[in-house]
Amino acid sequence: MADLLKLRTLFRPTPPRTSGPAPFAPTSTQPRAPAKPPASIVARSLDLFEASPSKPKGVNLGGGNNVRPSFPKYPPTLDILRYQRVQQQAPRPEDFTDPREYNLAKEAHERRLAPLVPAAAEDFLRYIQQEAQETPTGNKIIDAAREAGVEVVVLPDAEYSQRYPGSIGVHDDGKVYVPVSSIDDPSDTNDVDILVHEYVHALIGDGLGPDVPQSTREAEAREAFEALGLPPEAGAEIARQTDGWENPVAIEHVVTAYVTRRMAREREGLPPESPQEEAAAIERISDRELAIGLRANREGDNPISDAELVEQWENTPTGQRYPPEGDTVEEKAAWIEEQMDTLALETYVDPPPPGNKTQD
C-alpha cells in the first residue's frame, strides 16, 4: 500500500487516454473527451493497451453472428445470457428497405439492451480480470489497480461511441471507460489487453511527460515500475528512449506496449528476458510508437509540415540512431516517411523466426 501511495503522489491526473495509436502532437496536451457524468454504470472499482490492441471492437449488426461462443473456462452467467439473448436480436440493415425504419429498429434494440449491460458487465469484468491474473505481469497490474481504487465504467456500445468515438477504451479523469464489446470475451486476449492497457494509463499518469526534467523522469520511472512490481531499470530505459518526445500519451503507449508484450510472452511460456534483451525490446517498441504517432500527425486534420516532422524525429533517440538522409528538408522528410512505414509494423518489435510465414 505504501508503494501505491507513493505512485499516486508521483503522478498527476491526466487527460483521456485512448487505446490505439496516439498522435505525436507538436504540443504536450491531449484533447479532452467530452466531460459528461457517467450515465450508465460504474461496474466495479479496480484498470489497459499499445501493446496496442489490434482488433477493432464494436456492435456487430449481423443478427445471429453477434452470439458469443461458450467460454470453456468462464461459463456464461444468467446475466450474460440475458444480455447475449437480446444482443443477438439486433436488426440487420439488409432486412429493411427504408433506412429510417432500420434506424428506428436499431434505436429500439439499443434501448432494450442498455438496461442489461450493468449486470452482465459485472460478470464480464470479473472474468477479464481473472484471465489477466493468469500471467504474473497482469496479476501485478490488476492488484495495483484494485489497491489504487481505479474505477471501470462499462457503457453500452451506442452510448460509448457517442462519448468517445473512434476508440475502444479510454482513461478519463482517473476512471477507465470501455464499451461492453471491449470486455465481453475473456477468451480473447485483445479484450484482456484492452483492460490492462487502460489500467496502465491510469496508474502511470503523466509522470513521464515531456515537462519533467530528464533526470527526474528516469528516477520517477524507476519508482513507478518498482511500485507496480515491474523491473525499475525497464522504467528508466523507457524514460531514456522517449527523451525529447512531445506527447505524454505517446510516451505512455511505450509503457502499455511493454506491459502487454511481457504478458504475451508469459502466456506463451517463454523465459524471462535478460535486462539487456528487455532494453533492446524497449528500444524497438519506442521506435514503433514514435513512427505510429508521427504517421498519425502527418495524416491528421492539421498535418505537420516537413520541417516539423524532421525536427520531431531528430530530437528523439530514434532519430539519433537513424539520422535522416538527404540534403533538403523535403528529402529528409521523405526518408523519414519511408522509415516509418517499416518501424510501424508489429513485426518490427518481434520479428517472426526465420522460415515462418506471416500474413500481410
pTM above 0.85, yes or no: no
Residue reference for cell 511500485? 227
Distances (CA, A) of 100 to 103, 158, 266: 5, 17, 49
Residue 41: is its pLDDT beyond 70? no
CB 138 within 8 A of CB 263: yes
Q: Which amino acid is at 256?
A: T
Phi, psi of 178 (to 5 degrees): -140, 150
pLDDT, residue 17, reads 54
CA-based nearest residue to 168, from 289, 296, 15, 20: 20
- In tens, the pLDDT along 245-283 reads 998 889 999 999 999 999 999 999 999 999 999 999 999
pLDDT, residue 4, reads 47
What value does the mean pLDDT take over residues 190-202? 96
| Residues contacting residue 116 through CB under 8 Å, at least 6 positions apart | 79, 82, 83, 86
Distances (CA, A) of 217 to 17, 208, 238, 360: 20, 5, 9, 38
pLDDT, residue 249, reads 87
Distance, in Å, from the CA atom of 261 to the CA atom of 137, rounded to the nearest integer, reads 10
Residue 87: is its pLDDT beyond 80? yes
- In tens, the pLDDT along 333-357 reads 999 999 999 999 989 999 887 755 4
Query: Which secondary-structure segment (H or E) carries 152?
Result: strand 151-155
> Can you list the pairs that 74-80 forms with residues at least 24 positions away whose Cβ atoms lie under 8 Å?
74/127, 74/130, 74/131, 74/186, 74/187, 76/123, 77/120, 77/123, 79/116, 79/119, 79/120, 79/122, 79/123, 80/120, 80/123, 80/124
Length of the chain as a residue count: 360
CB 339 within 8 A of CB 291: yes
Sign of torsion, CA 176 139 285 360? negative
The runs of H, that is alpha helices, within the chain are 2-10, 78-87, 99-113, 117-132, 136-148, 157-163, 189-204, 214-227, 232-241, 248-267, 275-299, 306-314, 317-321, 329-343, 346-349
- In tens, the pLDDT along 105-162 reads 999 999 999 999 999 999 999 999 999 999 999 999 999 999 999 999 999 999 999 9
Phi, psi of 80 (to 5 degrees): -65, -45
Domain limits, the chain: 2-279
pLDDT, residue 341, reads 94
CB 194 within 8 A of CB 202: no
Residue 241: is its pLDDT beyond 70? yes
Residue 60: is its pLDDT beyond 50? no
CB 133 within 8 A of CB 139: yes
pLDDT, residue 3, reads 52
